[in-house]
Structure 1
């Protein structure tokens, strides 16, 4: 992955802010799909989906390596994000279950 050469710290910070804007939008979009996924789950074990989690982790580690990122940082971020989304999906699942 190529990044442009910045001439000062303000340029670096502007680029980081630009990337953060994209990350926040993508996390929000991911969250909308997570909420939809809750409707397809039959039980709380389906929500936790440990096999799926490990598949996602393996995939993002590989993607990080392929684009020059740090797979350990990527894994740590994803594990935390997935944990938060599992909590949100569990709440959504329980809410849908109680509403039926």
Structure 2
């Protein structure tokens, strides 16, 4: 829950704090994406449309509970997923080239 702010300086300080935390969480998420790229046996397994939709639905349910607009959550996560898939392809391709 957002803390009450009196000034724009307060707002910006809190946003900057949250951004630092988000970067840490996204880096952790990326680590799991990299493990998936290492673990998956076939390049065609990198994109899993059913899993994409499952993740988005779970995020939307959590967003609703947390008071995050679905209009923010859904496109943001779809972009995050697409960029994660691109990264996973890179990891998979590097692994395959090294074998």
Same fold (TM > 0.5): yes
Whole-angstrom distance in 2 between the partners of 1:45 and 1:51: 14
Please tell me whether the aligned partners of residues 61 and 72 of structure 1 are also in contact (alpha carbons under 8 angstroms).
no
1:49 Cα offset (Å)? 1.1
Gaps in structure 1 of 5+ consecutive residues: none
Gaps in structure 2 of 5+ consecutive residues: none
Q: TM-score, normalised by structure 1?
A: 0.93
1:45 Cα offset (Å)? 2.3
Q: TM-score, normalised by structure 2?
A: 0.94
Which position in structure 2 is the counterpart of 1:64?
63
RMSD over aligned CA atoms reads 0.9
Q: Deviation string for 1:20-57 (max 9, x for gaps)?
A: 00011111111111101112212222101111111000
Structure 1 runs (4+) greater than 3 angstroms displaced:
none
